[in-house]
């Protein structure tokens, strides 16, 4: 029977797993409580779970050198034991707004990757379909995207994969839209460190691991109590609903990925078409000059309208081809008023009478309406 150690997990989980027949002990690493309490030697265990949870206002207990109430037991052998074949499962919970403290809570774990903060609402998980990733398919029950605590607030910086081994020694289980790692397995010789993001219930994930993953890794069977083996009608209904939503979420995530790809492609096409049009290039140049030169902005806005007219052979033809006549004429009217003759660039030292902020804002707005309508003509078949 597998020997299990729960570190910084709840008393209720310990009691539940004991009822289910697991050989399980519980203790605390002491980093978040200030007092280390270990029930046995780590080299006597096959599976270790670490799930630190902190009540509000307890950061004063954060310490890398806690008081040790069990000095006869030690964590210093953990690295050797991982390499000898044990599995350590760690939940990267967001516990502090200080990244230094956040890393301190996990610093005692051998091979633990550095943590940093993130804020990810879209998370992808590995499918384990293709070789050599399929070598890890025993861990597939852990990839429960619908049960993650969203947004995910902690990301990982795992070590690089050893390119000299065919079966990966480092494999991401979860990642965000940028490809940053949110969950990983790090294999070291015969054992593994698994770091997972926070779930809605980390302790339910621990049960999933023990009932569905551990038997495939260690070729063992589990002993589930009668109550836990029975599903009530409400449980079945709720489980069906959860699974339906998980399936729907997977489909939405897949469609979202496809839509994002199409959006990126369309954006590149838009830029290519607009930048390939000579009149559009003139417009962009005049627009930037208008934004940078307040004293002659109206002149350059007028030049934008003029450039479009030149392409179509005059105002009438331009409005017919492009459309927004009201905004078109409003820009020209303001430019044509004799006391604000902005159709001609000011001479050096010449004082240009200021127009009101509201007028110039409206002129920009009207010009932008015309320009967007012109851009639209570039995409008509």
Residue-wise pLDDT for 219-254, tens only, equals 655 555 566 667 788 888 887 887 888 778 778 877
Domain ranges of the chain: 3-230, 278-377
- Strands 170-176, 181-188: pairing is antiparallel
Sign of CA dihedral 103, 107, 112, 114: positive
Measure the CA–CA gap between 318 and 305, rounded to whole angstroms: 9
* Separation of alpha carbons 91 and 198, rounded Å: 6
CA neighbor of 326 nearest in space, from 370, 276, 292: 370
User: Which pLDDT does position 342 carry in this prediction?
Assistant: 46
What's the confidence (pLDDT) of residue 183?
97
SS3 64: coil
- What is the DSSP code string of 272-332? HHHHT-HHHHHHHHHHHHHHH-GGGHHHHHHHHHHHHHHHHTSHHHHHHHH--HHHHHHHH
Is the model more confident about 340 or about 143? 143
Choose the weakest-confidence range: 166-180, 213-227, 255-269, 318-332.
Answer: 213-227
Length of the chain: 381
Dist CA 168 CA 135 (whole Å)? 9
Residue 338 pLDDT: 36
Which architecture, in CATH terms, is 3-230?
A: 3-Layer(aba) Sandwich (3.40)
The string of pLDDT tens digits covering residues 272-310 is: 999 999 999 999 999 988 888 767 788 888 899 999 999
Q: Model pTM?
A: 0.59
In this prediction, residue 349 has a pLDDT band, given cuts at 50, 70 and 90, of low
């Amino acid at each position: 029977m597998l020997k299990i150690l729960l570190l910084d997990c709840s008393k209720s989980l310990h009691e539940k797993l004991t009822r289910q027949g697991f050989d399980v002990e519980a203790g605390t690493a002491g980093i978040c409580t200030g007092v280390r309490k270990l029930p046995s030697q780590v080299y006597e265990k096959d599976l270790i779970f670490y799930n630190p949870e902190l009540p509000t206002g307890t950061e004063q207990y954060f310490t890398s050198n806690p008081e040790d109430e069990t000095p006869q037991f030690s964590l210093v052998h953990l690295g050797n034991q991982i390499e000898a074949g044990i599995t350590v499962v760690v939940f990267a919970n967001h516990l502090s707004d200080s990244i230094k403290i956040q890393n301190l809570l996990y610093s005692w774990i051998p091979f633990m990757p550095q943590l940093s903060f993130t804020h990810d609402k879209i998370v992808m998980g590995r499918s384990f379909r293709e070789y050599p990733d399929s070598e890890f398919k025993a861990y597939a029950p852990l990839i429960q995207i619908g049960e993650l605590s969203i947004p995910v607030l902690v990301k990982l910086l795992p070590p690089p994969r050893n390119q000299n081994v065919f079966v990966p020694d480092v494999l991401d289980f979860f990642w965000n839209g940028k490809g940053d790692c949110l969950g990983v397995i790090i294999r070291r010789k015969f054992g593994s460190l698994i770091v997972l993001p926070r779930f809605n219930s980390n302790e339910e994930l621990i049960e999933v691991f023990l009932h569905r993953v551990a038997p495939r890794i260690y070729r063992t069977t589990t002993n589930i109590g009668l109550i836990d083996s029975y599903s009530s009608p409400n449980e079945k209904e709720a489980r069906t609903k959860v699974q339906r939503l998980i399936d729907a979420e997977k489909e939405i995530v897949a469609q979202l990925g496809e839509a994002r790809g199409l959006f990126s492609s369309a954006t590149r096409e838009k830029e290519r078409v607009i930048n390939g049009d000579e009149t559009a290039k003139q417009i962009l140049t005049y627009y930037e000059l208008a934004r940078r030169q307040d004293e002659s902005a109206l002149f350059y806005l007028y030049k934008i309208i003029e450039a479009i007219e030149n392409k179509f052979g005059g105002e009438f033809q331009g409005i017919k081809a492009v459309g927004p006549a009201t905004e078109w004429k409003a820009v020209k009217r303001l430019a044509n008023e004799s006391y604000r003759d902005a159709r001609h660039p000011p001479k050096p030292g010449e004082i240009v009478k200021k127009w009101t902020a509201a007028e110039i804002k409206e002129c920009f707005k009207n010009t932008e309406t015309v320009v967007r309508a012109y851009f639209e003509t570039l995409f008509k078949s």
